[in-house]
Amino acid sequence: MSRRRKGRDVNGILVIDKPMDITSNGILQQVKRLFGAAKAGHTGALDPLATGVLPLCFGEATKFSQMMLDSDKAYIATARLGVRTETGDSEGAVVAEKPVPPGLDADALEPVLERFRGDIQQVPSMYSALKHKGKPLYEYAREGIEVERPSRPVTIYELTLLEVRETEIDIAVSCTKGTYIRSLVEDIGEALGCGAHVTALRRTMASGFTLADAREVPMLESMREEGESLDGLLVAPDAALSMFPERDLEGSSLVSILNGQPVRISGQPAEGFVRLYGNGRFVGLAEGFPEGEATKLVPRRLVKSG
């Protein structure tokens, strides 16, 4: 006998402005309960210290969470100079203190920041959620175990100094997936010779969504208390997939795709993921393979109709 699912079918994406001192999963469970949703997931965890853009996927939108996880991100971070901590942020114990170089200003910082722009190699923090043998690194760290972590390539598209104070700097970062801002700040501190750690972190963009798109949980709670539906706040899954080109299908091509079968279409050849539409609605993602003057579209993620 099959187990009955708890919750209702809810489909779409909701962008939350995550508050401080709660895990991403904690926020997810709160919002999932408010919607009474059967299925939901987030698209990449933010540390409890961090705030800002956290897209949540419901129902059919969860099929595209990995693509959203792989998207570029943007942050504003505050770094405390002269102090290194165990975790790379203010939640960890202090492990070293050194004086901040005297006269440190924007002119002195700019050459240091320039070293971290573009394609760089970064060693993930031991307090990251990156897994080793199926176990998050932070669990090893809490047990006092140091795991060797190979450096990984990441790209820092933008690294802008926003403000310099006596022992703090504010920076804006735009980067590829897998970039650890704590590690970046620690590396900047190392380059300055005094060490550094993150004291505040706010994600300003993820999956193409910004803070302007984000909702706060108290607002959702207030709407529920007043008997208002929250479903109107959801956006369609393809709102997070605008980085991929789109194709409209009709007739037998659309039927074949909806049945999970590849199709060959004429026109400008396309390579990589393609958003597919039919009869005025988003039907899913396919992967395109150029074949001469045509494209072979192989369905990868399809959404249910209705």
Is 47 tagged catalytic? yes
Which of the following is catalytic: 17, 47, 187, 213?
Answer: 47
Sequence letter at residue 14: L
Q: What angle do CA 102, 103, 109 make, to 5 degrees?
A: 105
DSSP letters for 4-49: PPSSB---EEEEEEEPSSS-HHHHHHHHHHHHTBS-EEESSPPPTT
Q: Give the N- to C-terminal CA distance of the chain in Å, as an integer.
A: 26
Sequence-separated (6 or more) residues with CB below 8 Å from residue 74: 158, 172, 173, 174, 175, 203, 204, 205, 206
Token pair 């990156």 in the structure block, residue = 130
Rg over alpha carbons for the chain, rounded to the nearest Å, is 22
Distance CA 55, CA 42 (A): 6
Amino acid at 209: F
Tokens 């895990």 belong to 23
Q: Which residue has the tokens 């919750």?
A: 7
Are 161 and 109 in contact by the 8 Å Cβ rule? The answer is yes
Residues recognised as catalytic: 47
